[in-house]
Amino acid sequence: MKLSQAKNIVKAAINHAMSLKDGRDAQYLVPYLVSGAGIGKTTCVTDIAKELDIQCSILSLAQYDAGELAGWVVPSDDGEGMERKRPDWMPTEGKGILFLDELAQAPVANLNIGAQLTNERRVGAHHLPEGWVIVAAGNRMSDRAGTNNLPTHLRDRLMFLDIEADLDDTIAYYYSVGVDERVCAFLRFRPEWLHKFDRDANACPSPRSWERVSSVLSWDIDPVCLQEAIAGQVGRGGCADFMGFLKLYDTVPDINELIAKPQSASISDDPAVMYAVCAALATRMNKSNAAQIVQYLQRIPQQEFAAFVIKDALNRDTDLKQVKAVRDWVMTSGKHLIL
């Protein structure tokens, strides 16, 4: 499924859990996001917490000793016996998400503790407070990311959500955080480079690594260093194609001139150039120039290009829906292109 679909499911599970008071264990579903590395599982969960205005506490079970994870056993205050201290990672108040990140990387002893936590919302005598919900995430066994087989009693307590990289989801996220438009344009042109996991490679393309490429592009370094830095993020193959695309990007007509004269601006026959132009238009569209950009888009024979400009622009700025030209295009030319 898409990450956006998984996000909707996780949100629903959280809202349901928070509506309960002293509910049965079976009513507290625990979503478990499973995917290859770099898809955006952690960002998805932290974004949900921000949207719901609740806390998000990330707990990596693999980073704890089993005794520390469960809470140290110490002499009781009265000296008559032993007691288990409340673990320092366990919240005591408020509302939030306890996010069990990289769950499958934890050793079996820690996974057994996680099983009690996910099923009974407690560790020993210490209970997770009302208002807190559990969400988990991990990589697939096939990725060789240091993962372990989850014990069957833990698997039975999770709701598995298998996620694949999705271009539209990724581009929407990129525009929301200001990723370089050249990265967006390249992935629209060559979507096969969005996620190519190679467990034997030191670096390979993923939504996360391409976001880091955007940061590299902002560095003031010479072309050779730039190429090496990008290759260090997405591998040699993805880097070679991307560097070639950057050279083509430099030949794109002046975008400001195009917006100023939408009826006479040239339309390239080269698909790569058009992907570059459209990515630039999606980045620059605002309420004052949207009508002119729509005029240009209506002249493009392949209206799929226009669709991704409008879609990406709306993902970046939902207020553009108020522009009449945008609404008209969506209701006419884009009626069957934007879902």
User: Which parts of the chain sit beneath pLDDT 50?
Assistant: none
Taking a C-beta distance cutoff of 8 angstroms, is the pair 283, 311 a contact? no
Taking a C-beta distance cutoff of 8 angstroms, is the pair 253, 228 a contact? no
pLDDT at residue 97, as a whole number: 97
Half-sphere exposure (Cβ direction) of 157: Cα atoms closer than 13 Å: 21
pLDDT at residue 333, as a whole number: 77
pLDDT at residue 144, as a whole number: 56
Which among 9, 30, 47 is positioned nearest to 135, based on CA atoms? 30
Domain ranges of the chain: 3-162, 167-331
pLDDT at residue 148, as a whole number: 66
pLDDT at residue 332, as a whole number: 84
CATH code linked to domain 3-162: 3.40.50.300
CA pair distance 24, 5, nearest whole angstrom: 26
pLDDT at residue 338, as a whole number: 67
